[in-house]
Structure formats: structure tokens, C-alpha cells
Structure 1
């Protein structure tokens, strides 16, 4: 049997179809989107999935959710450049932008980030100064609004506390609700997202001053054309019902383009490096 004519015919067919095949079979690169672990990984993945799915669709690129088991591990992964895009707290951004690892892309519009200190609803405290000598729970040393800002203000007021770092905002709220700590640090968004059973056992005792909120930043290896595609997709989210729902799922306001200078208010605090947690609120301990 002479298979040459059939072979030639097949080759011609492949040549004619190759542009369409190439388009259909094109493998989109995957970008890893790291989210600071303020809450349990499963909860974060569930709430962020709609936004990342729309980002993938509208930017025509595959975006994959990632986080870390705790904030120090997240910091280590930022330092190692494991995330192509990351949602990080203002302190992280101030550090990693200075290290030339990440570049600001977007932030929430008309938002100021405040830390909160919560206590049990039946606790006798009415002023932050009444927490002197008490046990306080925080997510991690470099959790900006939930830890750095409250501790800085406690220090400024001359208070001394036993500090416990317990991994996440959710863990802090649970510890306070269960009486394992007298008070704890968090932010309003994660507090509002707690289960009613836990949230209703707590009340906000105090709020910090406001600062520029978390950054969505890209690693410096991403080219500007790709950054602009990602930015356009993020800014466009409120323009559709699905996009607004995705923002609502994570408690976000509309996103706007960010500039590096937006975080100068955080840099002005001169907080130092991640490896240098504030000392004076820990009874002088190193």
C-alpha cells in the first residue's frame, strides 16, 4: 500500500491548521498569587477564588492562589520571590519594595488601614491603659495593623505586656474569646469575617490611627505590559456584577492603581527590618 499520498495530505492539513491549533493549544503561563495568611488557608482560598478566576479570565493569563501556613513563612516566601503577585501588608511592602523584590500595582480606593484591639464583651476594660500588665495575643511580629501598630502605641503609652504570637487573626480572636489572652490585635475586616459565634463574644476596645492599606504588588521579574493587563483587570472588577461580588467576598473596596510613594506614611514610622520586632511592649525581652 502506498502511504505517501496520505502522508503528504496529512502534512498539508497540519500546515493549514497549524495557526488555529497553536492558538487552541497555547499554554498560558501560570502566575502565583500569594495572599498574606490573616486567616485559615481554606477560608482564604474560598474567598479569593472568585476574584482570581476573573483576573485570569480578564487578563488572559492563569492566576493560581497561594498562601503560607503563617506570616513568618509568608515573609520568607516573599523574600525568596516565590510569588509573582502578592497581597501583602503595608509593612511588608515597605520592606520588600526597598529590597527591590516587589513593585506596587494596586490598592483599595479611599481606604485607611487601622488596627484594632479586641477584648471579651464581658471584660471590665474601657480604656487601652487598663491593659497594662495583661497578656496580649497578636498574629505575628510583622503583622502591620494587627500587631506592629498596636504594639507601637502600647509602647508609646508606657505599657508593659506579655506578648504571644499565635499565627493568624482568627487565632487571636479565638484566643481572646476563650480567655487564653486578655486582649488581642486584628483588623476590622477579619474581625467582621469571623463566625458570629466568636465575634459576638468580643468587642473592639481601641483602634489605631489610619495608614495606607495593603498592597497588591508584582515581583520585579514581571514585565510592564503584563503588569498593565493585570492592573486593568483588577480596576475593572466593579464594572460587572460578578466582579463586584468577588470584591465583596473579600471585603474590598474598588481597586485603583498604586504608586510606590503611597506607602511613604508607613516608611516614616522607621520600623526597621522584619527581624527586629518591637521590644518595649514585651517587658524588655529581646
Structure 2
């Protein structure tokens, strides 16, 4: 899932997939889509054997993909950031202001935040910038008043950038992104892969690889327990099928 620039995502995932492949007997060919909308279209087609999804995407393609593992260390939370020197101290001050998001369908960085703003009847002008990194930089250069992201991606930005940003709002927490498999894959293969993830999670030397892909503590995932409850949020009403980010 393209939360970050393609080259950075590839460099983070490739060494981990090599380790998982050796342990599970699978030869991975990493593919990094250029944008979230492109990623969604390929998911709906079942183009990927395996995919790293956000929770909403997992709910969206649950008939085609099953979650295998997710991070068990921390819940996923969306954040809304402003410049540290901004006079904005409460959400109401964002009324009719421009707010950047990576994509309409980004789960915590967009859907959850927009749902909360709508519930509070705070009008705003969304600006979709394709990646979390673009959002943070747009806030830093005052292109927008605020921007949506997630705690994990902000923590991975350079210290110089983080020092000029301030978290204005944090959403409730939800189970993190799953690493999922197409449901038509052999159960023996997906079981080996789950065990490979869990084994790496117990290996201290693999910690840097797991941290790089936001999976510091992989645990086995379950659709009914982890992601089915999201249906109650009715996020579908906020999804933009035309997605102006491309």
C-alpha cells in the first residue's frame, strides 16, 4: 500500500520479503503501486497474491482477500497535524480551511478524520496529495492549514520535519494494517507464511526489518475479530470512487 514514496516502500519491504520467502518457500516479486487509487483497482481485480492493506481496504475486499498477520504492538490511530507555530488549537478553527489527505480512501489518515469532522459539522476543503509524506510537507510549507496522517508514518519522517509540526487531533485506535493473502491460494502456503512472520517476530535480529514495515510485533489476524467491526463506522459514505488523487 503506497503510504510513502514508491522507492522508499520498495527499499523497506524487499529485504523483509526475502527473509519471509526463504522461511516460507515463496518467491516474492514486490510491486509498489504509484498511488492508492491504482492499488485499490488492482486489489478489486485480485491482481496481487499478497498485499499489505489498510483496515478499510481489508473490509472492502474481504471476499477476495483474507488477513494473515497484523501488528500486535500498537493500535492504528489517525492524526491531524498543523504547523507547530500555527494559531489553530481546536478543530473548530479548521472550518472552511484547506486540509490535506493522502487519498479519500486512506483509512486512518483520511476516512476516520473526515468522519469525525463531518460528525462535528465542520466544513473543510480537502486536498488529496497521494502520500503521507506529501501531506506532512504541505503542512510544513503552509500550503494547507492541516493534514491527515498516522502516528507510524509521522514517526518515520526526518526530525527536522517533525519539529515544525504539531498533532492537533488523534482518532481512537483500531487494529493495524494486515498483511493479507488472496483466498484462492493454497492453505498450506499461507500457513507457512504466517509461521514465517511469527518466527521473525521472535527473532531479535529481525527487529529492524519488521519495524521498517510497521510490523514490529506480528500476530495472527482474523477478519471477524479485527476488521468486521469497522462496518459499524459506515465509512463507505465517505469513500470517493472518482478519487482526484489519480
What TM-score does the superposition give when structure 1 sets the normalisation length?
0.81
- 8 Å CA contact 1:90, 1:214 repeated in 2: yes
**Are 1:220 and 2:183 counterparts?**
yes
Query: Structure 2: how far apart are the matches of 1:198 and 1:95?
Result: 33
**1:185 maps to which residue?**
148
Alpha-carbon shift at residue 211 of structure 1 (Å) = 1.3
**Are 1:264 and 2:228 counterparts?**
yes
Cα shift readout 1:119-153 (whole Å, capped 9, x = no counterpart): 01110111122111111000101000000000000
**Are 1:94 and 2:59 counterparts?**
yes
Larger RCO (alpha carbons 8 Å, 6+ apart): 2
**Are 1:173 and 2:139 counterparts?**
no
Cα shift readout 1:28-73 (whole Å, capped 9, x = no counterpart): xxxxxxxx10000111111112211110111111112212111001
Alpha-carbon shift at residue 250 of structure 1 (Å) = 2.6
Alpha-carbon shift at residue 115 of structure 1 (Å) = 0.2
**1:39 maps to which residue?**
4
- Secondary structure of the 2:28 match is strand
Cα shift readout 1:198-252 (whole Å, capped 9, x = no counterpart): 2221111110111121111101121100010110001111222332221122343
**2:15 maps to which residue?**
50
- Secondary structure of the 1:135 match is strand
**1:163 maps to which residue?**
126
Query: Structure 2: how far apart are the matches of 1:179 and 1:235?
Result: 43
Alpha-carbon shift at residue 110 of structure 1 (Å) = 4.2
Runs of 5+ in structure 2 lacking a partner? 242-246
> Equivalences for 1:1-286 in 2 at 5 Å?
36-97=1-62, 100-261=63-224, 262-272=226-236, 276=240
**1:27 maps to which residue?**
none
**2:244 maps to which residue?**
none
- 8 Å CA contact 2:115, 2:238 repeated in 1: no
Alpha-carbon shift at residue 274 of structure 1 (Å) = 8.0
Where do 4+ consecutive residues of structure 1 move more than 6 Å? none
Number of equivalent positions = 240
RMSD: 1.5
- 8 Å CA contact 2:71, 2:218 repeated in 1: yes
Task: Give the number of the structure whose alpha-carbon radius of gyration is greater.
Answer: 1
Runs of 5+ in structure 1 lacking a partner? 1-35, 278-286
- Secondary structure of the 1:268 match is helix
- 8 Å CA contact 2:207, 2:216 repeated in 1: no
Query: Structure 2: how far apart are the matches of 1:108 and 1:87?
Result: 11
**1:281 maps to which residue?**
none
Alpha-carbon shift at residue 197 of structure 1 (Å) = 2.3
- 8 Å CA contact 2:78, 2:151 repeated in 1: yes
What TM-score does the superposition give when structure 2 sets the normalisation length?
0.93
